[in-house]
Amino acid sequence: METQKQLTIGLFGFGVVGEGLYKVLNQTPSLNATIKKVCIKNYGKKRDAPASLFTTEKEELLNDRDINVIVEVIDDTEAAFDIVSTAMKNGKDVVSASKKMIAEYFTELLALQKETGKSLLYEAAACASIPVIRNLEEYYDYDLLQSVRAIVNGSTNYMLTKIIDEGLDFKQALLQAQQLGFAESNPTLDVEGYDAVNKWAFLLTHAYGIVEKTDALLFNGIQNIHATDAVVANEKNQEIKLVAQAQKLKNGKVAAFVLPQFVNQNDHLAFVKNEYNGVVIESGFADKQFFYGKGAGSFPTASAVLSDISALRYEYKYEYKKLYHHQPHALSNDIFLRVYVSFDDISLIPKENFEWIEEWHAREERKYLVGIISVASLHGKNWWKENGVSLILLPEPVIEEIETRKLKQRSLELAGIVN
């Protein structure tokens, strides 16, 4: 049998994930992988590892010929890209957990992988402990992936659980998510949906071969969820979740977005609480499959990094099969959504943007409506993200054939069933 490839690691970052990896590796001697050096920003902090392990000089790692793997778990996007590209050009394989960097520099990273022939693995960058990238890449290596719906941000899911199930206020819930090491150092990235849409952008490549910047996707976070929304959800026996969704349309294109959604109790995603993430995949013949696991935190994230390191022993690379070996799908915003919108001041709502409005609840101080609106008319607009307006998707499939729906709506109106 071939002897196992010895992996000598240069680690960038010793925060929640970096330290977690250090501990996890120490408990996994069978992996034949050792950390030779750790590059940190400053020596100031007290760290639970020998001082001789640390340096502040990135070249010490990037130019060390013994080091054949660079693991990068820092949260400075530009510095991370610089480290990853230099490492690959210097002939090293790379494992990264920097979601924002991967989303922002995706095209460049694809080119670097082609140019250098080195592996760049980033399973830890989406859904932490759930092996979602390798699943989408390897298992669903065919054209029958109908839809993927997922909770991809642990902090916001943790916060929604604490706010809705346990009555904490927004600030308390965020503070806890920060204290537990789930949130980004800039928690706006979690709360306003940026982290989720970053992850969704590159998951769409592995699922459908779509390569798009995040600004091509409709997204929001949970910053505007109002106490009234939680009351409405409870009355309807539903949960509110921040859901990333992709759905293949009849025209072969894919609709994709990240929005807060009301989720029925019998939806698998309703079961996902706290910092857990979940992925529901619907495919041609298998019907529904559900993946579940911790989506944030030190050891769950380190476990995914560890698995990537292990995969380097057999020189595993992403092949981007949907992009290079199949006809990639195009992204489409040509769909309509049934949404709930709550607000204090009706003048903030451009009623004319809705195809039609099904319900008005205008008597209470906090008002809400339910209506049908196109993604195109929400995309690039901010009225539904600002001034306390809260927009939540209702639990029904995206609407592709608006003409049929319009006719049906009109006939119901004529019959006096709705108005």
- Chain residues binding ligand HSE by CB under 6 A are 99, 128, 153-155, 182-184, 190, 195, 295-296
Q: Which helix (H) or strand (E) holds 174?
A: helix 170-179
Q: Of the two residues 159 and 335, which places its CB atom closer to ligand HSE in the complex?
A: 159
Q: Within a 13 Å sphere around the CA of 292, how many CA atoms are in the beta-carbon half?
A: 9
Q: Of the two residues 72 and 190, which places its CB atom closer to ligand HSE in the complex?
A: 190
Residue 99 among the catalytic residues: no
From the CB of 382, what's the least distance to ligand HSE, in Å?
24
Residue closest to ligand HSE, measured at CB: 155
From the CB of 23, what's the least distance to ligand HSE, in Å?
18
CA distances from 80 to 169, 216, 304, 348, 400 (A): 34, 23, 18, 41, 40
Q: Of the two residues 85 and 153, which places its CB atom closer to ligand HSE in the complex?
A: 153
- Could you tell me which residues come within 8 angstroms of residue 92 by beta carbon, excluding any fewer than 6 positions away? 10, 62, 67, 68, 69, 70, 118
Using alpha carbons only, give the angle 194, 276, 242 rounded to the nearest 5 degrees: 40
From the CB of 130, what's the least distance to ligand HSE, in Å?
11
CA distances from 161 to 164, 174, 240 (A): 5, 11, 9
From the CB of 136, what's the least distance to ligand HSE, in Å?
17
Task: Compute the radius of gyration of the chain from its Cα atoms.
Answer: 23
Q: Rounded to whole angstroms, how far apart are CA atoms 257 and 375? A: 9
From the CB of 3, what's the least distance to ligand HSE, in Å?
35
Give the residues across from 373 on adjacent strands. 337, 354
* Amino acid residing at 203: L
In three-state secondary structure terms, 64 is coil
From the CB of 126, what's the least distance to ligand HSE, in Å?
7
Q: Of the two residues 263 and 341, which places its CB atom closer to ligand HSE in the complex?
A: 263
User: Among the options 162, 199, 248, 322, which is catalytic?
Assistant: 199
Q: Of the two residues 153 and 245, which places its CB atom closer to ligand HSE in the complex?
A: 153
Closest-CA residue to 213 (of 205, 222, 225, 224): 205
Count of other CB atoms within 10 angstroms of residue 287: 9
Q: Of the two residues 293 and 295, which places its CB atom closer to ligand HSE in the complex?
A: 295
From the CB of 81, what's the least distance to ligand HSE, in Å?
18
CA distances from 393 to 66, 193, 259, 396 (A): 52, 15, 7, 8
Q: Rounded to whole angstroms, how far apart are CA atoms 274 and 161? A: 6
**How many DSSP H helices and E strands does the chain contain?**
16, 16
Using CA of residue 383, residue 363, residue 355, residue 340, what is the dihedral sign?
positive
Q: Of the two residues 55 and 77, which places its CB atom closer to ligand HSE in the complex?
A: 77
Q: Looking at the annotation, which residues are catalytic?
A: 199
